[in-house]
């Protein structure tokens, strides 16, 4: 292992937010085995660096509350169904991470003690202090709030130093680089710039909560193997969103 691989992480406690769709890989529904194994390997690498780690994963690969609501399902019911999708994803991710030898706990905002722990802040903090990876499921437990907002909320509650948003591109661009080759990647943005330019990195309530809690947001490509540990070492392309200087 070279010197670059041994670079110390810049943060001690972090939260990674991923969409459920990121778990699909090339599939149209559910989970891609390769993606799950890659995520587990990256989490294990970050854990081995001594970083205290928690995750929030969406449920869009299984069910999206907004889509169901548009199809006629009552909105609150649809959102609760979406929350259950995040629990399914959390259990799947827990299983593959533990196969890497990393102790992991799933904590749900909707109590379901037969399959996971209820979310209790002090217990979650204790898990992190003991070196366990904590996966927060079921969003905030409330309808009308996205898993982006849940991620910002849990990052604040866990006293995380940074919130990482894993996407399919290596940062925030002026337009979708997959359809606009001329799009420019931003190295650094302020929270207010993200909102004013409608860049849609995360929803507005998540950005506002991160700003109020002074938690920087790092946007990077989670699809590239090894990018998660590299970005924590400052060795992978990313965009950082934080308070403007001055």
> Could you report the per-residue pLDDT of 53-66, keeping only the tens digit for each?
999 999 999 988 77
Q: Residue 120's closest CA among 111, 130, 129?
A: 111
Residue ranges of alpha helices (H) inside the chain are 33-48, 65-70, 75-98, 121-129, 147-157, 191-196, 204-213, 227-232
More reliable by pLDDT, 69 or 152: 152
Q: How confident is the model at residue 3 (pLDDT cuts 50, 70, 90)?
A: very low
The pLDDT assigned to 25 comes to: 86
Most confident of 26-30, 187-191, 199-203: 187-191
Separation between Cα atoms, residue 213 and residue 209, nearest integer Å: 6
Tokens 């590239």 label which residue?
224
Query: Cβ distance 63 to 82 under 8 Å?
Result: yes
Residue 241: pLDDT above 60? Answer: yes
Query: Could you confirm whether domain 13-242 is CATH 3.40.50.10470?
Result: no
What percent of the chain has a predicted confidence (pLDDT) above 70? 97
With b meaning 16 or more CB within 10 Å and e meaning fewer, what string describes 15-48? bbbbbbebbbbeeeeebeeebbebbbbbbbbbbe
Token representation of residue 103:
């102790």
The pLDDT assigned to 200 comes to: 86
Separation between Cα atoms, residue 17 and residue 72, nearest integer Å: 29
| Radius of gyration in angstroms for the set of CA atoms belonging to the chain, rounded to a whole number | 17
The pTM of this model reads 0.93
| Beta carbons within 8 Å of 234's beta carbon, 6+ residues apart | 7, 10
Mean pLDDT of the chain: 93
Most confident of 8-12, 121-125, 181-185: 121-125
Mean pLDDT throughout 180-203? 93
Tokens 């109020």 label which residue?
212
Residue 243: pLDDT above 60? Answer: yes
Mean pLDDT throughout 225-240? 95
Residue 182: pLDDT above 70? Answer: yes
| Beta carbons within 8 Å of 120's beta carbon, 6+ residues apart | 107
Query: Cβ distance 235 to 183 under 8 Å?
Result: no
| CA-to-CA dists, residue 200 to 87, 166, 169, 176, 187, angstroms | 25, 14, 13, 11, 16
> Could you report the per-residue pLDDT of 6-34, keeping only the tens digit for each?
578 999 999 999 999 999 988 888 999 99
The continuous run of DSSP H or E covering 117 comes out as strand 117-118
> Could you report the per-residue pLDDT of 136-171, keeping only the tens digit for each?
999 999 999 999 999 999 999 999 999 999 998 999
The pLDDT assigned to 246 comes to: 57
What percent of the chain has a predicted confidence (pLDDT) above 90? 82
The pLDDT assigned to 176 comes to: 86
Where do the structural domains in the chain lie, given as residue ranges?
A: 13-242
Query: Cβ distance 73 to 82 under 8 Å?
Result: no
The pLDDT assigned to 6 comes to: 58
């Amino acid at each position: 292992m070279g010197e670059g691989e041994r670079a110390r992480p810049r943060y001690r406690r972090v939260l990674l937010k991923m969409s459920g769709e990121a778990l699909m890989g090339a599939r149209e529904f559910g989970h891609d085995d390769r993606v799950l194994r890659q995520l587990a390997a990256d989490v294990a690498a970050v854990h081995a660096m001594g970083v205290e780690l928690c995750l929030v994963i969406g449920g869009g690969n299984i069910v999206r509350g907004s889509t169901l609501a548009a199809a006629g399902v009552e909105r609150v019911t649809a959102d609760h169904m979406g929350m259950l999708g995040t629990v399914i994803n959390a259990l799947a991710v827990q299983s593959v991470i533990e196969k890497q030898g990393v102790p992991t706990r799933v904590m749900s905002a909707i109590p379901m003690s037969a399959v996971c722990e209820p979310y209790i802040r002090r217990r979650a903090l204790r898990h992190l202090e003991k070196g366990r990876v904590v996966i927060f499921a079921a969003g905030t437990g409330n309808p009308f709030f996205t898993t982006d907002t849940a991620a910002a909320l849990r990052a604040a509650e866990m006293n995380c130093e940074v919130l990482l948003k894993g996407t399919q591109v290596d940062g925030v661009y002026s337009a979708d680089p997959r359809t606009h080759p001329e799009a420019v990647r931003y190295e650094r943005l302020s929270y207010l710039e993200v909102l004013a330019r409608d860049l849609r990195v995360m929803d507005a309530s998540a950005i506002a909560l991160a700003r109020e809690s002074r938690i920087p947001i790092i946007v990077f490509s989670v699809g590239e193997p090894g990018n998660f540990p590299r970005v924590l070492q400052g060795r992978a392309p990313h965009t950082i969103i934080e308070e403007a200087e001055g």
